[in-house]
A and B are shown apart, each in its own frame.
Chain A
Amino acid sequence: MKQETNPHPHELLSAFSDQVSTPEEAARLQDHLKDCAECRQLLHDLTALATAIGEEAVPPPPPQLAERIRQKIEAGSSSRTTPSPASFWRSPFPPALAATLLMATTLFLIWRREQVVPTRIQVPSTPVAKSETAPGVAEPLAPPPPPAEKSDIARNEVQDRELKSQGSISDTTQRSTDEEGSAKTAADAAAPRAFAPAPTPARQDASLDGHETAEPSAAPGSESQSRDYLDVITASGLTGEDYKKAMAKKAPAEVPKAKDNHPSASALSDGASPGALKESAPVVSAEEARSLAYEGPGFSATFSEDGLVTLIARGYACSVTVPPSQAAPDGARARSIDDLASLFRTASSREFLAAGSTPEDAPTAMAAPAVPATSSLELRNAQGDPIHSVPFNEPLSQESPQVLRTLSQGIHSLIFQRYRKELESRCGPLPATLLPTP
């Protein structure tokens, strides 16, 4: 997925130091190590660091912590003796009740159907209706004038019965399918409640805020239910398999949207040059972008939407929080980058999304591309996983897409001018080798 932007196989070295590389990878690495003193040094250092991290002393938990947890849990448990509405809805009782009610209603309707039709069949004996059919044969065509709706219902029911007798409809199958569907819905509705988090302080992560307090709807629809499920799981701090399942449920609803907006499916397939694309508002598929990572020949930098700027260079690593930027009007793409807001607007623009490849398209880290790129720009989601990656070569030429030139210049300007003071006041002066020559 990731393009190796330097000639040294860092990922392979790291995996090798953990003894998880395949024999093939290990052989390739050994070949490389024969001629690369720098990587031999790096391998030694990685092993030393791993040991040091493992042996770093961690202060022990306070002795009363377990007791405090117990008290809090018991306080929560005792308050459940008079269940609050929230705890009631989280219990398995509501779905069970819903399923019971549904079943009772279904049985009642079936019973009612059985009752209603014969009643109507008896009606033709009234003098109003003259039946031409033989006595005793069911004929629902001349009942006393019932309300129009009931008449329609009765007619439909009769038609259903006729079709059923012909084998066109399996009434019980249909109903049992409906019941299963409803029961499944009820069970699904219960699932997120099982994961429902404790009320947490309002200072939760901005990206997760709003989900934390969201109670799943009582009668979830398919898409909104999936979203509720996802949101509750995310907010409860559960990831991994649960998260993947929720994502799998969420994905189908978003596929058409993503396809519509995906650059490779639109702009690039038309043969349009990325540089020739018109300026446009940020597209929907970039909404989950939370950070932008730049890796270049001299340094790498990460810009977080929440104001965290990280600079890593040879001999220098620093993270600072910068003041919030002024929000720009919706849809306006910055012509120049002078703060994080303009940086993210540009990185979320259609031009940038059209300028690269998705992580799936990109070559694997060790599969050397035909022309190794010196640099890359990567949009990442809240988990830090890449959602869009653009490898490119620096220095950029006049033929390079405008958006890449804007982003590259903007990132250098942010690091060396706009946020230099913050970086240097926290971590000391930037390395001289890093600074652009005047």
Chain B
Amino acid sequence: MLKAMEPRPVEQPESEEELIGRAREGDSRAFDRLVQTHLGAVWRVVWRILRHREDTEDVVQEVFITAFKALAGYRGECRLSTWLHRIAVTRSLNHLRSRGEVLRRASRPLEVATELTLAAPDGIEGHTPLLALEAKELLQKLASCLEQLPAIWRAAVTLRDGEEMSYEEMADVLGVAVGTVRSRLARARVALRECVRGVSR
């Protein structure tokens, strides 16, 4: 009874650096808090690349387990989120490159996010072929075309347009030069646009 009445120690919010330090020493609870902080972003990136719920679950788990084991090698040279994204993108691409996965995905129907929304961007004329489409139709076609896009291009588009990363961050995550990011993005977007326009005809 007395014990229950004792004031509980106030839990001080810990900084990410402190949590990383504790997790590095093997404190899984500290790492758990890091997982909760970054799970949403890692999930989004992996889903946008894989576009398959079960696969995304598997890869996201792999990402955090790998990160926990490799945390000793993380020296804080980049933000933890960048480091996690780096692992997430590489793992996702590896997952898609595995031969069995390529065959499996080629034979399954396209998975499209169930709820799609689109607002016409400000300052864009409404009579362009893309925006002349019904928003829902456009997004369904976009999802289909994103699925068909080479994964390495899809990753670039995901990081830029989905996660709004800078080109420099993208270069760090993808392990390539900024110039490569730039050209890869351009190719991906033009291919995507051609695909959407083509399907719409």
Residues of A within 8 A of B (CB): 1-2, 10-11, 13-15, 18, 20, 41-42, 44-62, 65-66, 68-70, 72-74, 76-77, 80, 92, 191, 194-198, 200, 203-208, 236-244, 300, 302, 306-308, 310, 312-321, 365, 382-385, 426-427, 431
Contacts and interface: CB of A to CB of B under 8 A. Distances in A.
Contacts of B77: 241
Contacts of B66: 197-198, 236-237
Q: From B36, B148, B157, name the one whose CB has the most chain A CB atoms within 10 angstroms.
A: B148
Interface residues of B, number: 103
A310 B102 CA distance: 13
Given A20-B167, A314-B198, A317-B149, A48 B121 contact: yes
Nearest to A74: B28
Given A49-B142, A58-B44, A238-B70, 10 more contacts: A48-B121, A51-B121, A53-B162, A57-B115, A60-B40, A61-B40, A66-B35, A68-B61, A69-B35, A203-B99
A58 B195 CA distance: 21
A264 B2 CA distance: 84
Contact of A53 (B53, B61, B65, B142): B142
A58 B78 CA distance: 26
B118 to A, nearest CB: 5
B143 A49 contact: no
Given A14-B182, A312-B194, A196 B106 contact: no
Interface string B100-127: 1111001000000111111111001100
Nearest to A300: B191
Interface in B146-167: 146, 148-150, 152, 157-158, 160-162, 164, 167
Contact of B130 (A49, A55, A194, A365): A49
Interface in B49-83: 53, 57, 60-66, 68-70, 72-73, 77-78, 82-83
A43 to B, nearest CB: 10
B28 A73 contact: yes
A61 B60 contact: yes
B62 to A, nearest CB: 7
Contact of A196 (B70, B125, B183): B70
A52 B118 contact: yes
18 contacts: A48-B131, A49-B196, A57-B115, A58-B44, A58-B113, A58-B162, A196-B70, A236-B87, A237-B63, A238-B73, A238-B86, A239-B86, A312-B191, A315-B198, A317-B192, A384-B152, A385-B180, A427-B148
A47 B122 CA distance: 10
Contacts of A10: 186-187, 189-190
Contacts of A431: 198
